[in-house]
Chains A and B, each alone.
Chain A
Amino acid sequence: MKSQIIDQLIISSRVRFARNLDSIPFKTTQQNVFEPISITIKQKNTGFISCRIDQLSDKVAHALYEQHLLSHNILSNKQNGMIVTHEDKEKNRRTCIMLGEEDHIRIQVIELGLGLNPAHAIAKKISNDIEKSHKIAHTDELGYLTSCPTNLGTAMRASIMMFLPALTKTKQIEKIINNLRGQRITIRGVHGEGSQAVGYMYQISNQACLGLTEEQIIEKVAEITTKIANLEIQVQQDIFTSSPDEITDQIMRSFGILSHAHMISSDEATEHLAWLKLGHCLGIIKFKPRVLDDLFFLIQPATISTQNERAESPQTRDKIRAKKISTVLRTSRI
């Protein structure tokens, strides 16, 4: 039962590798410099597709940014930036390799739920594929050489996206953030720095990459994640035990608004979705697995615009968003 609740708190796992071509300036503007890497990835991995950044429409680019698949850095590189992607729907896995980011190569694999190990295995394979055909900057002393010295060593970032409403509302998250600083682990709001997180979503990741093996980093991030999840469950139960009626009322009000609103902004919808997800974790109201997690991303402005040609104005998007949420909630409630 407890492991099921932990599963509900962990939205996704992500492993990211940074790699650079030896001796080539990190901010190279050379045309077609990344084409050979894109070809290598596609030759050795089936189902991968590539695209130049200047070929992406602004709408699609913004939607991919909202879904945390592309960074601001890569989107601004219209000179030679590229992406190579793959989606494994069966395994709920997205792979997105950014070429021409702050580092030449950023391999990132995202799994739904707790899945750092499988994400790491895929990222490692792609990294090995590239290293067999291209000379990558690396020294025995510093590991992989990166644009920013903070990424030296394994150049790996393992991160978990978590839903932590109770720790946020009781302000305990601030203590956790401070305590983790000494352990070389960072926790930050998904949509911004600091403790203010939209939708109570946080990203927990390793701070340093040098001096630890990839496996040790993964183990440490997973261990901290489990500890935080257990704490969140405990605080959720405490809050509910102390004021069950108030909590239930707020959750059902959020359900009412999301089910019946004619227009709703992404900020308001996110806040109510967070209450609904808390209700789901507490067992007050149940939905099919992952439905609420998907909604957090599907209701973002650019994502709605890419799915609806009419959704150009904020008002139209608010109407489409309200309809989408009410439809999903109606059909996915258990």
Chain B
Amino acid sequence: MLCELCKKNRATIHKLSPMHGRSIAVCSGCLTKPQTVSFTVTSTNYGIGIGPTITSIEKTITSFSPSISSLHQQSIEKNIVCTNCAYELSAFKKTSKLGCSVCYTTFKTQLAPIIKQIHGI
């Protein structure tokens, strides 16, 4: 299925869209670009004169977007499980602890920015 927003890439995730009033299928690129969508729609269809409404729509979309994308992100990452000890990445997010030494290989990509932040290197 093609992404309902850009109509170019393959859709991988469903997201709630206040603009469409329903859940839409989007690609990972459009998942984090809600403002662009609202600008396109509002500038084309409404024009000058209803600025505040346009702004409020934009705000609504922006406020929804991070939590939705983070929820989707979490649901994707939840499935990452350590091959050695069956520890889930979601458990690390709650406890800041890992399950075993192999977890460092399993969750390498997700841990890299955290390790950089902690140790400053």
Establish whether residues A208 and B120, one from each chain, have CB atoms under 8 Å apart when the complex forms. Answer: yes
Establish whether residues B119 and A208, one from each chain, have CB atoms under 8 Å apart when the complex forms. Answer: yes
Q: A25-B85, A149-B115, A152-B115 are in contact. Are A210 and B100 (CB under 8 A)?
A: no
What's the minimum C-beta distance from A106 to chain B, rounded to whole angstroms?
14
How many residues in A have their beta carbons less than 8 Å from beta carbons of B?
A: 23
A102 contacts across to B, CB distance below 8 A: 97
Which A residues, 157 to 194, have Cβ-Cβ distances below 8 Å to chain B? 184
**Distance in angstroms between the alpha carbons of A276 and B2 in the assembled complex:** 78
B102 contacts across to A, CB distance below 8 A: 23
**Distance in angstroms between the alpha carbons of A211 and B119 in the assembled complex:** 7
Question: Does B44 make an interface contact (CB < 8 A)?
Answer: no
A142 contacts across to B, CB distance below 8 A: 104, 115
Range, interface on chain B? 10 to 19
B87 contacts across to A, CB distance below 8 A: 25
**Distance in angstroms between the alpha carbons of A324 and B120 in the assembled complex:** 49
Q: Select from chain A the residue with minimum beta-carbon distance to B100.
A: A25
Question: Does A153 make an interface contact (CB < 8 A)?
Answer: yes
Q: Select from chain A the residue with minimum beta-carbon distance to B99.
A: A25
Establish whether residues A211 and B118, one from each chain, have CB atoms under 8 Å apart when the complex forms. Answer: no
B98 contacts across to A, CB distance below 8 A: 26, 147-149
Identify which of A24, A25, A139, A150 contacts B104 (C-beta below 8 A). Answer: A139
Q: Select from chain A the residue with minimum beta-carbon distance to B82.
A: A25
Q: Select from chain A the residue with minimum beta-carbon distance to B104.
A: A145
Establish whether residues A23 and B100, one from each chain, have CB atoms under 8 Å apart when the complex forms. Answer: yes
Bitwise interface map of A from 9 to 31 toward B, beta carbon under 8 Å scored 1, else 0: 00000000000101111110000
What's the minimum C-beta distance from A154 to chain B, rounded to whole angstroms?
11
Identify which of A26, A152, A184 contacts B97 (C-beta below 8 A). Answer: A26
Bitwise interface map of B from 82 to 108 toward A, beta carbon under 8 Å scored 1, else 0: 001101000000001111111010000
Establish whether residues A211 and B120, one from each chain, have CB atoms under 8 Å apart when the complex forms. Answer: yes
Question: Does A137 make an interface contact (CB < 8 A)?
Answer: yes
Establish whether residues B115 and A184, one from each chain, have CB atoms under 8 Å apart when the complex forms. Answer: no
Bitwise interface map of B from 58 to 76 toward A, beta carbon under 8 Å scored 1, else 0: 0000000000000000000
Identify which of B97, B111, B114, B121 contacts A210 (C-beta below 8 A). Answer: B121
A148 contacts across to B, CB distance below 8 A: 96-98
A149 contacts across to B, CB distance below 8 A: 96, 98, 111, 114-115, 118
Q: Select from chain B the residue with minimum beta-carbon distance to A150.
A: B118
Most buried by A among B99, B119, B121: B119
Query: What is the interface of chain B, defined by CB distance below 8 A to chain A?
Result: 84-85, 87, 96-102, 104, 111, 114-115, 118-121
Question: Which 10 residue pairs spanning A and B have beta carbons closest together?
Answer: A137-B101, A210-B119, A145-B101, A211-B121, A25-B85, A25-B100, A208-B119, A147-B97, A145-B104, A149-B115
Q: List 10 A-B contacts (CB under 8 A).
A: A20-B100, A20-B101, A23-B102, A25-B84, A142-B115, A145-B104, A147-B98, A153-B119, A184-B120, A211-B119
Known pairs A145-B104, A208-B119 / 7 extra A-B pairs, C-beta < 8 Å = A20-B101, A23-B100, A23-B102, A25-B99, A142-B104, A153-B119, A209-B119
